[in-house]
Amino acid sequence: EIRKIVNDSWIYEDDSAEERERKRKLFDNIYFSLQYITEYETNITEFMTGELSRYYTEDDLLDKLVSTGFGTALGGFGVTYEEFLVKASIFRTNPIRSKIGRKEGVQLDDLYYVYEYLLDEKSGKIEKKLKGTIRATNKIGRNDKITDGNSPTTKFYQTYGRVLKPGYSLVYMGNFGGDFKLGYESGNVGGLFLRMDARISEVFKIRSSFAFLDVAYDTREYFIPWGFGEADVSFLRYGFGLAKGIMLTRNIELRPYAGCGYEKALSTSFQSTELEGVKNLYVKYGANISINLSLKFKIFVGLGYYSFIGNPVNKNKQELSYSWSEMFSGREGQTIQFGLKFGM
């Protein structure tokens, strides 16, 4: 109803003086209530003190206060309340661009769902169909100072879906992102593993960058020298690292990674010996390729390589005089990975 009144009160250049006055009175009499929803706080003391204060005028600081506060609020209720979701449309493709930018609070790797709206001829209702997902690159339009229609565009890259077309609608879904991998690793080092990747693009200002944590479990039989003989050994690996996503197509992603961690060996044969609680530092690197099966469900395969650094230490933090691969023959080198991936 309010939208209709606003439209009816819009003044055009060719309106007569009487029509302008009528519309002006109509607009002046518009009344609507406001409902309190929530509030957000932001800290800008870093802009008011220290070295930065030498380079900013009071007007600069006030501008920074307003823009920072607006960005904080938009980032909060902009993903919580439907009425405040940033909505736009694709302006052109190859590459994908839209006329939103800094004014709408767009940040690197922001996630947008892309919809096509269709009229159901039977019901007469408009239905929306998800056509894909896109994320913002670091080519963000500087439209915060633009007041006419010549707004610059923001460049996006597609992470899921079908071929997108100009006019499709965008809906902002937040800056979150990450995924879980559950898989199996085969090779001299292997076993079941779980890995969590969290998007950290805003930290390094590099699109589709991740930090990851992983844990793995493996059991094997080894012949241990120095009088131990055959032993059933369980291996527990835990580590962290960094990864970089590269979209090869709109549904296939290559993600190189590098990381480090510890592998711990457990066996009843090691109890009360110098091998009890033994562990060794490792570094690893490799790459995975994932294929979208649905919005949040993917399969992946990959290659990796493990290298153990230095000599192992036991639970008493004593360094042993032999290497990990001498204890567990050939336990290093290339691996093959495969499994399922869940997330965005």
- SS3 for the chain is CHHHHHHHCCCCCCCCHHHHHHHHHHHHCCCCCCCCCCCCCCCCHHHHCCHHHHCCCHHHHHHHHHHHHHHHHHHHHCCCCHHHCCEEEEEECCCEEECCEHHHCCCCCCEEEEEEEEECCCCCCEEEEEEEEEEECCCCECCCCCCCCCCCCEEEEEEEECCCCCCCEEEEEECCCEEEEEEEEEECCCEEEEEEEEECHHHHCCCCEEEEEEEEEEEEEEEECCCCEEEEEEEEEEEEEEEECEEEECCEEEEEEEEEEEEEEECHHHCCCCCCCCEEEEEEEEEEEEEECCCCEEEEEEEEEEEEEEEEECCCCCECCCCHHHHCCCCCEEEEEEEEEEEC
Q: What values do phi and psi take at 118, rounded to 5?
A: -125, 145
Can you tell me the distance from the alpha carbon of 1 to that of 344, in angstroms, rounded to the nearest whole number?
A: 38
pLDDT of residue 92: 93
pLDDT of residue 55: 60
pLDDT string in tens for the chain (344-residue length): 677 777 788 888 888 999 989 888 888 888 777 777 777 776 655 444 555 555 667 777 777 777 777 666 665 665 566 666 667 899 999 999 999 998 888 999 999 999 998 877 777 787 889 999 999 999 999 887 776 667 899 999 999 999 999 999 998 888 778 999 999 999 999 999 999 999 999 888 999 999 999 999 999 999 998 778 899 999 999 999 999 999 999 999 999 999 999 999 999 999 999 999 999 999 999 999 999 999 999 999 999 999 999 999 999 999 999 999 999 999 999 999 999 999 98
Taken in order 320, 325, 328, 329, the sign of the CA dihedral is negative
| Phi/psi-derived region of residue 253, left when phi > 0, alpha when psi is between -120 and 50, beta in every other case | beta
Tens digits of per-residue pLDDT, 8-55? 888 888 889 999 898 888 888 887 777 777 777 766 554 445 555 556
Share of the chain above pLDDT 70, in %: 89
